[in-house]
Amino acid sequence: MLEADPRFAEFVAERGDALLRYGYVLAGNPHDAADLVQEALLKLRGAWPRLRSKENPESYARTTMARLHIAVWRRRRRELLAWELPEGAHHDALPSGDERRMWQALAGLPRKQRAVLVLRYYEQLDDAEIADVLGISRGTVRSQASRALDKLRAAIPTEQLTRGNVR
């Protein structure tokens, strides 16, 4: 059994919400986001004794979350997932207007394309860092980003967006 380390508990208390927000942007829904955070924190807890001297354990957690997200995509790429239950679906409230359309378009992207965009624009990683995190080549990063942006542009033409509403 691992000894309790108060620094790990402090890290979770301080950065847990930020990791959950990152998971939401990465996964596109709050349930998968919570799963990603929980699995990443379990892995981080196991590696905590080796990370004590490192300055940024959050980087380890975020990288783990991105890799877990892609691993799920790889396992499920042949499955057709249906998120809505037959007896009726519950939808969390989304922002209104342009932001809602943008979130819906982002959620509609394939997992790998969404992961590349999140790492590029939310985490502000360059292509080499994204390739390292996802275990793919730089060329694949660029092609996935290009395809994802093309799909977003097609889903929401620029002239439909209200100036200043989408960040």
pLDDT digits (tens, 9 = 90+) for 142-157: 999 999 999 988 887 7
Question: Could you tell me the fold of the domain covering 1-81?
Answer: Rna Polymerase Sigma Factor; Chain: A (1.10.1740)
Residue corresponding to tokens 């380390």: 5
- What is the pLDDT, as a whole number, of residue 92? 55
Question: Could you tell me the fold of the domain covering 95-167?
Answer: Arc Repressor Mutant, subunit A (1.10.10)
Sequence-distant (≥ 6) Cβ neighbours of residue 18 within 8 angstroms: 58
* Helix pair angle (57-76, 30-51), 10° resolution: 130
- What is the pLDDT, as a whole number, of residue 127? 93
- What is the pLDDT, as a whole number, of residue 16? 93
Which two three-digit tokens encode residue 2?
A: 């691992």
Q: Where in the chain is the domain with CATH 1.10.1740?
A: 1-81
- What is the pLDDT, as a whole number, of residue 167? 42
- What is the pLDDT, as a whole number, of residue 74? 66
- What is the pLDDT, as a whole number, of residue 34? 94
Q: Where in the chain is the domain with CATH 1.10.10.10?
A: 95-167
Q: Which residues of the chain have pLDDT under 50?
A: 1, 94, 163-167
Mark 39-61 as b/e (b = at least 16 C-beta within 10 Å).
bbbebbeeebeebeeeeebeebb
- What is the pLDDT, as a whole number, of residue 42? 92
Q: Which amino acid is at 130?
A: I
Cβ atoms of 73 and 118 within 8 Å: the answer is: no
Cβ atoms of 144 and 152 within 8 Å: the answer is: no
Q: Rounded to an integer, what distance in angstroms lies between the CA atom of residue 71 and that of residue 76? A: 9
